[in-house]
Amino acid sequence: PGRPDWTKAELAADAPLHVVIIGAGMSGLAAAHRLQQAGVPFEILEKNSDVGGTWLENTYPGCRVDVTNHLYSFSFTDNHDWPGHFSTQRALLDYFRDFADEQDLKRHIRFGTEVVAAEYVEAEHRWELEVRDAAGSRRLRAQAVISAVGQLNRPSYPKISGLADFAGPSFHSARWDHDVDLTGKRVAVIGTGASAVQFVPIIAEQAAEVHLFQRTPPWLVPTPDYHDPVQPGLRWLLRNVPHYARWYRFWLFCRSAEGVLPAVAVDPDWTGDPRSVSARNEELRQLLVAYLEMSLPDDPELVRKVTPQYPPAAKRMLRDNGTWPATLQREDVHLVTEPIQDVTATGVRTADGRQHDADVLILATGFQASNFLTPMRVTGRDGVNLHRRWGGDARAYLGITVPEFPNFFMIYGPNTNIVVNGSIIFFSECAVNYIVGCLRLLLERGSAALECRAEVHDGFNADVDRANLLMSWGKSTVHSWYKNEHGRVAQNWPFSLMEYWKRTKRPDPADFLL
């Protein structure tokens, strides 16, 4: 998606159009950048005291991106000098901070400002926002609202009995308590998802022992250069050869994202192993099992415990450069696969009656991904409440717009998460491009509001649902954050990345009530 080839001044200098962006993470900054280029007045409301979103909030040890940074970066800064292929949280936070400074975006951001509610005032074709900051509650107005609040930032606390009784320090991995010194402590960690796989190897070095409670093992994708710096030769090329970074990004794009999709798609005629969904998926499964066997050569019992019994990509696959198997083999790390019964004052008790003593309890239990846009209250035309409309099953057209919510747009909304590879930044840029295109439509046509047609929205969602059921994550019954309480895949985009790019290239006026 490229720079807007228009400005508001050229199209409709006097038209009232003030846009509020909610969130100054990666998506909010991308939106701000494009609106600035188009000369559309905007402000960003950010509840935190800095930019960065998830890269500001997640500070657990070992936190890093698991999509190569030469893809996981803005297309408008494509020669950024990344230190690693998969950079650390700190490098990413610095990148977003620098971007906001270089583009002079911070003067548009109100930090420490949380949006409590947004209500559409139909008679005046505008949104009224209730915001809370240090000074109290206030109301703001805007013609259009862009929600850039992310999917994975509301921690999910498990419903395990006795959790509140634990006597020692206890925290969620996304709210890491850096005041708790883990040196020499007995630590219990619940969960073995992307977060745990990154921090457990590090805390295992400090703790006296770690009890790791695994409910479902993750598939590991061998990634030898996961922690490596970018090689000097490649770094030289990226720094010095004109447009090399663009070509490198294009090559990564073709190789990673689009290539993997066929290996995770369902073959309806597949009659092979029930732990795979097609012959190619089975091939991938066997490769991944071989990796586990090779990484844990002398411990078939451990291999059994960590081998998933669901198809590859039914849950998010995690990168590994040997660190996770090595951690599991440490004598002071105990992998517990017995279900948790409850938490006691002094540790975690499993269903077999065993008590696993701990001084510190860390919940690496993920996020409430399905609760899009909570806890905000969003009220559209005719007083329709967005969350009541959704009823726990969030849907939107292209993940961006919802009927009855004129001029309200989402970035990284329902069904825009990418599963196997590729960069969510690419998706956000596509959504931003589309939203900016919608604003252009408003200005060109002299309209005050634009609203997605219900039949367009419903037809799109039916397509998405059909396609998701033909992917490993939709077909498998394994529990994952890709699915909502109704069992529907509400997070994932089931098509190719190119397909999202094509569909968001420019809005079709016929899709809207304008």
Can you give the binding site for ligand N01, defined by CB under 6 A? 64-66, 152, 158, 160, 190-196, 198, 213, 215-216, 316, 340, 364-367, 479, 481
Q: Which residue is nearest to ligand N01 (CB)?
A: 193
Choice between 407 and 421, CB closer to ligand N01: 421
**Side chain identity, residue 510:** A
Pair 327, 492: CB distance under 8 Å: no
Closest C-alpha to 193, from 279, 312, 319, 91: 319
- Least Å distance, CB 215 to ligand N01, is 3
**Residue 236, SS3?**
helix
313, 471 Cβ separation under 8 angstroms: yes
Cα separation, 392 vs 397, in Å, equals 17
Task: Quickly list DSSP for 24-87.
Answer: -SHHHHHHHHHHHHHT--EEEE-SSSSS-THHHH---TT-B-SS-TTTSS-GGGTT---SBSS-
Cβ-based nearer residue to ligand N01, 75 or 216: 216
Closest contact distance (angstroms) between CB of 476 and ligand N01 is 12
The two structure tokens encoding residue 83: 């230190």
Residue recorded with tokens 């825009």: 416
Nearer to ligand N01, 129 or 203 (CB): 203
Least Cβ distance, residue 190 to ligand N01 (angstroms):
5
- Of 90 and 479, nearer to ligand N01 (C-beta) is 479
Kindly tell me the burial class for residue 343, based on how many C-beta atoms sit within 10 Å of its own C-beta (0-12, 13-18, 19 or more).
buried
CB 158, min distance to ligand N01, A: 3
Which residues sit opposite 20 in a β-bridge? 43, 145
Residue among 50 and 66 whose Cβ is closer to ligand N01:
66
Q: What distance in Å separates the CA atoms of residue 135 and residue 113, rounded to the nearest whole number?
A: 10
Tokens of 125: 């074709």
Residue 155 or 168: the one with the smaller Cβ distance to ligand N01 is: 155
Cis peptide before 375 (omega within 30 of 0): yes
Q: Which is nearer to ligand N01, 39 or 158 (CB)?
A: 158
Instruction: For 454-483, give the secondary structure using H, E and C.
Output: HHHHHHHHHHHHHHHCCEHHHHCCCCCCCE
Task: Output the smallest distance, CB 54 to ligand N01, in A.
Answer: 8
In the complex, minimum distance from the CB of residue 120 to ligand N01, in angstroms, rounded to a whole number? 31
In whole angstroms, the minimum distance from the beta carbon of 76 to ligand N01 comes to 22
State the nearest-atom distance from the C-beta of 93 to ligand N01, in Å.
Answer: 13
**Nearest distance from residue 156's CB to ligand N01, in Å?**
7
Tokens standing for 3? Answer: 């720079």
Helix, strand, or coil (residue 229): strand
Contacts of 41 (CB under 8 A, 6+ apart): 8, 17, 18, 19
Give the bridge partners for 84, in sequence order: 229
The torsion defined by the Cα of 34, 38, 40 and 44, in degrees rounded to 10, comes to 10
Residue type, 485: E
**Residue 108 Cβ, how far from ligand N01 at the closest point, in Å?**
27
Residue with tokens 């139909």: 122
- Please, which residue, 401 or 476, has the CB nearer to ligand N01? 476
Q: Which is nearer to ligand N01, 198 or 401 (CB)?
A: 198
Of residues 351 and 462, the one with the C-beta less far from ligand N01: 351
